[in-house]
């Protein structure tokens, strides 16, 4: 994967965990925090650590907000900073903004101001968030064993109507479709199988994919990414 550029707003334990994983994978990571002491402590862990205010557009521009591949707003306790910085980052064109929430209501507000994914640190480990930031089209991504990973991939419009037999993921890509969450007949077209009545099925070659179905796939990461391109 090409080297990418990420911003972490807030240098707490959660933000640091995300940053370490991104750095481990060879990406450029910038920390932004108003507390100079915190910035000093993390300066050796990241590409660049900057004292600044994430609710100030000039400070965001100074760290190259328009050139970012993604950002994580890792501040939860200060709701105003969390919400305003999320909104500003999206207004400045950051393609992916993951924002930490401390409650469901906080998460709803972050979603409304543009956050691409809401993170609840008590549920979402920093390493997992770092991986999803690099593969935003996956609903879920995790390690298994012997170099294999699992991914939940949502079916898009371009592959709706394709049968699993025609997809033939095992032969074409070496990817196993382990299970499926399929849209109920009562659901509106194109919705997400996580949010509507759905059923878990064993893969059946004759099944015709519907937009919004979710496939649980197992394979190596490059092949999982290729599968996502085909069905996403």
Q: What is the pLDDT of residues 158-186, one digit of tens each?
A: 888 999 899 988 888 888 887 787 865 55
pLDDT bucket at 124, cuts 50 / 70 / 90: low
Alpha helices in the chain (DSSP H): 13-24, 36-42, 57-62, 79-91, 104-112, 126-134, 164-167, 169-173, 221-231
**Chain mean pLDDT for the chain:** 81
Give the mean pLDDT of 57-62: 96
pLDDT bucket at 49, cuts 50 / 70 / 90: very high
pLDDT at 197: 46
Percent of the residues in the chain that have a pLDDT greater than 90, as a whole number:
25
The number of angstroms, rounded, from the C-alpha of 178 to the middle of its chain's C-alpha atoms is 22
How far apart are alpha carbons 29 and 40 in whole angstroms?
A: 15
Give helix then strand counts, H and E, for the chain.
9, 11
The beta strand positions in 126-195, using DSSP E, are: 138-143, 149-154, 176-183
How far apart are alpha carbons 19 and 31 in whole angstroms?
A: 8
Place of tokens 């550029």: 5
pLDDT bucket at 29, cuts 50 / 70 / 90: very high
Q: Which range in 9-18, 129-138, 147-156 is most confidently predicted, on average pLDDT?
A: 9-18
Kindly report the CA angle at 36 between 35 and 38, in degrees rounded to 5?
70
- The model's pLDDT over 190-226, given as tens digits with 9 standing for 90+, comes to 445 454 445 667 778 888 998 888 887 888 888 888 8
Lowest mean pLDDT among 5-14, 99-108, 159-168: 99-108
Give the mean pLDDT of 88-92: 93
pLDDT at 141: 56
3-class DSSP state of 226: helix
In the chain the domains, ranked by start, together with CATH numbers, are 5-134 (3.40.50.720), 138-231 (3.30.70.1450)
For 78-105, b where at least 16 C-beta lie within 10 A, e where not — what string?
ebebbbbbbbbbbeeebebbbbbbeeee
Closest CA to 33 of 43, 24, 45: 43
How far apart are alpha carbons 225 and 145 in whole angstroms?
A: 18
Give the mean pLDDT of 52-62: 95
- Going 108 to 109 to 113 to 119, the CA torsion angle's sign is negative
């Amino acid at each position: 994967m090409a080297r990418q550029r990420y911003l972490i707003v807030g240098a707490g334990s959660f933000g640091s965990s995300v940053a370490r994983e991104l750095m481990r994978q060879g990406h450029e990571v910038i920390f932004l925090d108003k507390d100079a002491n915190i910035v000093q402590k993390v300066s050796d862990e990241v590409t660049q650590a900057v004292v600044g205010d994430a609710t100030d557009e000039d400070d965001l521009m100074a760290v190259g907000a328009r050139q970012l591949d993604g950002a994580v707003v890792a501040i939860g306790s200060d709701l105003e900073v969390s919400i305003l910085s999320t909104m500003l980052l999206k207004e400045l064109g950051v393609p992916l903004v993951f924002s930490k929430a401390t409650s469901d209501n906080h998460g709803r507000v972050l979603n409304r101001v543009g956050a691409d994914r809401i993170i609840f640190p008590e549920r979402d480990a920093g390493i997992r968030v770092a991986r999803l930031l690099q593969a935003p089209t996956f609903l879920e991504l995790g390690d298994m064993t012997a170099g294999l990973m699992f991914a939940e991939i949502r079916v898009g419009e371009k592959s709706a109507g394709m049968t699993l037999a025609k997809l033939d993921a095992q032969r074409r890509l070496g990817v196993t479709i382990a299970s499926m969450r399929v849209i109920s007949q009562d659901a509106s077209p194109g919705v997400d199988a996580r949010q509507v009545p759905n059923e878990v099925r064993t893969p059946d070659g004759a099944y015709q994919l519907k937009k919004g179905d979710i496939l649980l796939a197992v394979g190596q990461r490059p092949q999982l990414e290729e599968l996502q391109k085909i069905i996403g």
